[in-house]
């Protein structure tokens, strides 16, 4: 039996709610061990074929199916599902649930094949580890082309590119006057840096972080634009402060994410571990793990979100694009930043998306999955994506 034939059997059983726990695990496993993404495309083709003769859409059934796949993928009941396995299970859900959207939204006319599937197109590769480091004297170093080893000496601090391509600072205590460095990622870039205090920072595409080459003051202060995930090293008596425009996030040691792109209407802070205090114009909000804040740029209003989806907030850091009911423009801003493309809209597209897609696939595969809603169509041009109903 071929893999495609096995996929067809497993998808049919999942859709009919007759799949066993072992079969749901097998379905998630086929996606997990699919670095090329071919199994995902096979699933899509099978779902398109089944959509033409599918029964009426049953929202409760698809919710149960999603729960079953996630539960089946749990190694042991008492443990949290590891991120990678959970994400791949959710990717299967995306494919299956998207076919449900086809069944719900299908019209009397036959489902038309997309331009992406019907003819060869220019494809666009995903982003990668790309960034520019600006030293205190203004010298710029392209980190994706720089060799491993010591890159520079900043005061008493050595700047090193390690064997895994990350930037590290080796700084002595009380290293004299601070020299400020800046690391910036382009559209289509990301990078990881270990700061002089041992804190690690993951920068998303089109982001920058300004920081001293040695933390000698009463606080460890950095400045962020764009998006970053922080794992802050604990240092009693020297809090870690992230400045975003007029907002500050203050911590002693914790894991959190800040999304502060200028083309987004809201600045979001999400706390995964520890505790933080978010401050804006004298108003301070303290957060617990699983909580977040939203700073509305237009009004300056800072509000606490008592319960947030932490996995969605850090999906980018873990190698995924995750949508949780995002509208088309919000979804495509994520795509545009990671694939470094211009998005052009033709007509009103009311589509919303929910699901997880790997970030290491060409853009055509991302768009194919989004097209499964039946509400949107994409064309790929020269560094452009055209969106139409």
For residue 87 the two structure tokens come to 């994400």
The pLDDT of residue 16 is above 70: no
- How far is 116 from 126, CA to CA, in rounded Å? 17
Residue 272 and residue 226 share a domain: yes
pTM of the model: 0.71
**Which H helix or E strand runs over 94?**
helix 83-105
- How far is 69 from 72, CA to CA, in rounded Å? 5
Residue 245 and residue 216 share a domain: yes
pLDDT of residue 209: 97
Range of 74-83, 86-95, 343-352 with top mean pLDDT: 343-352
The pLDDT of residue 343 is above 80: yes
- How far is 245 from 363, CA to CA, in rounded Å? 32
Q: Which candidate, 34, 53, 40, places its Cα nearest to that of 15?
A: 53
Residue 160 and residue 303 share a domain: yes
Over range 315-344, report the average pLDDT: 93
Residue 250 and residue 173 share a domain: yes
Report the domain count for the chain.
Answer: 3
What confidence tens digit (pLDDT) does each residue in 167-205 have?
888 766 555 567 899 999 999 999 999 998 999 999 999
pLDDT of residue 199: 94
Residues whose CB is less than 8 angstroms from the CB of residue 76 and which lie 6 or more positions away in sequence, other chains included: none
% of the chain with per-residue pLDDT over 90: 42
The pLDDT of residue 4 is above 90: no
Residues whose CB is less than 8 angstroms from the CB of residue 110 and which lie 6 or more positions away in sequence, other chains included: 52
Residue 33 pLDDT level (bands cut at 50, 70, 90): low
Q: Which of 48, 76, 111 is a domain's end point? A: 111
Over range 90-115, report the average pLDDT: 39
CATH number at residue 282: 2.60.120.1440
Residue 221 and residue 349 share a domain: no
Residue 32 and residue 67 share a domain: yes
Over range 245-250, report the average pLDDT: 93
Q: Which candidate, 224, 314, 298, places its Cα nearest to that of 264?
A: 298
Pairs from 2-11 (Cβ < 8 Å, separation ≥ 24): 3/30, 3/39, 3/42, 4/42, 4/46, 6/30, 7/39, 7/42, 7/43, 7/46, 8/46, 11/43, 11/46, 11/47, 11/50, 11/96
The pLDDT of residue 237 is above 70: yes
Residue 38 pLDDT level (bands cut at 50, 70, 90): low
Residue 351 and residue 243 share a domain: no
Rounded to the nearest integer, the mean pLDDT of the chain is 78
Residue 230 and residue 86 share a domain: no
For residue 227 the two structure tokens come to 């998006």
Sign of CA dihedral 264, 269, 270, 272: positive
Q: Around Cβ 257, how many Cβ atoms within 10 Å? A: 24
Residue 55 pLDDT level (bands cut at 50, 70, 90): very low
Q: Is 86 helix (H, G, I), strand (E, B) or coil?
A: helix
Residue 303 and residue 156 share a domain: yes
Q: Which of 79, 111, 143 is a domain's end point? A: 111
pLDDT of residue 124: 92
For residue 63 the two structure tokens come to 């919710």
Cross-strand pairs, 158: 153, 170
Q: Around Cβ 78, how many Cβ atoms within 10 Å? A: 6
Q: Which of 111, 145, 160 is a domain's end point? A: 111
What confidence tens digit (pLDDT) does each residue in 260-272 have?
999 999 999 999 9
- How far is 278 from 256, CA to CA, in rounded Å? 12
pLDDT of residue 250: 95
Residue 173 and residue 154 share a domain: yes
What's the Cα-to-Cα distance from 162 to each of 93, 143, 169, rounded to whole Å?
A: 38, 11, 10
Over range 129-147, report the average pLDDT: 89
Q: Which residues of 96-133 are buried (b: 16+ CB within 10 A; e: fewer)?
A: bbbbbbbbbeeeeeeeeebebeeeeeeebebbeebbbb
For residue 129 the two structure tokens come to 């580890």
What confidence tens digit (pLDDT) does each residue in 218-230 have?
899 999 999 999 9
Domain that holds residue 365: 118-124+319-388
């Amino acid at each position: 039996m071929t893999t495609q034939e096995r996929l067809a059997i497993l998808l049919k059983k999942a859709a009919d709610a007759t799949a066993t726990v072992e079969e749901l695990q097998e379905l998630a496993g086929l996606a997990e061990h699919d670095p090329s993404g071919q199994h995902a495309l096979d699933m899509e083709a099978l779902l398109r074929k089944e959509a033409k003769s599918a029964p009426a859409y049953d929202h409760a059934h698809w919710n149960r199916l999603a729960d079953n796949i996630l539960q089946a993928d749990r190694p042991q009941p008492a443990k949290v599902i590891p991120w990678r396995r959970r994400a791949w299970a959710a990717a299967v859900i995306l494919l299956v649930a998207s076919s449900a959207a086809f069944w719900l939204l299908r019209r009397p006319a036959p489902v038309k094949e997309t331009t992406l599937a019907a003819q060869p197109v220019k494809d666009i590769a995903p982003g990668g580890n790309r960034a520019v480091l600006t030293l205190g004297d203004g010298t710029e170093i392209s980190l994706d082309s720089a060799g491993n080893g010591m890159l520079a000496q900043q005061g008493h601090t050595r700047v090193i590119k390690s064997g895994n391509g990350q930037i590290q600072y080796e700084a002595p205590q009380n290293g004299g006057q601070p020299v400020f460095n800046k690391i910036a990622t382009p559209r289509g870039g990301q990078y990881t840096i270990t700061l002089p205090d041992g804190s690690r920072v993951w920068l998303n595409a089109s982001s920058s972080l300004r920081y001293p080459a040695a933390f000698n003051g009463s606080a460890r202060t950095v400045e962020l634009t764009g998006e970053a995930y922080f794992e802050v090293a604990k240092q009693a008596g020297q809090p870690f402060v992230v400045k975003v425009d007029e907002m500050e996030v203050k911590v002693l040691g914790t894991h959190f994410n800040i999304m502060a792109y200028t083309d987004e209407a809201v600045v979001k802070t999400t706390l995964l571990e520890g505790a933080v205090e978010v401050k804006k114009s004298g108003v301070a909000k303290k957060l617990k793990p699983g909580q977040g804040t939203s700073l509305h740029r237009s009004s300056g209003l800072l509000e606490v979100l008592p319960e947030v989806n932490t996995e969605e907030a850090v999906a980018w850091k873990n190698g995924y694009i995750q949508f949780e009911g995002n509208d088309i423009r919000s979804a495509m801003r994520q795509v545009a930043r990671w694939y470094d493309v211009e998005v052009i809209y033709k007509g009103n597209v009311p589509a919303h998306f929910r699901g997880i897609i790997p970030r290491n696939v060409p853009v055509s595969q991302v768009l194919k999955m989004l097209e499964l809603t039946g509400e949107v169509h994409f064309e790929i041009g020269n560094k452009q994506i055209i969106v139409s109903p």
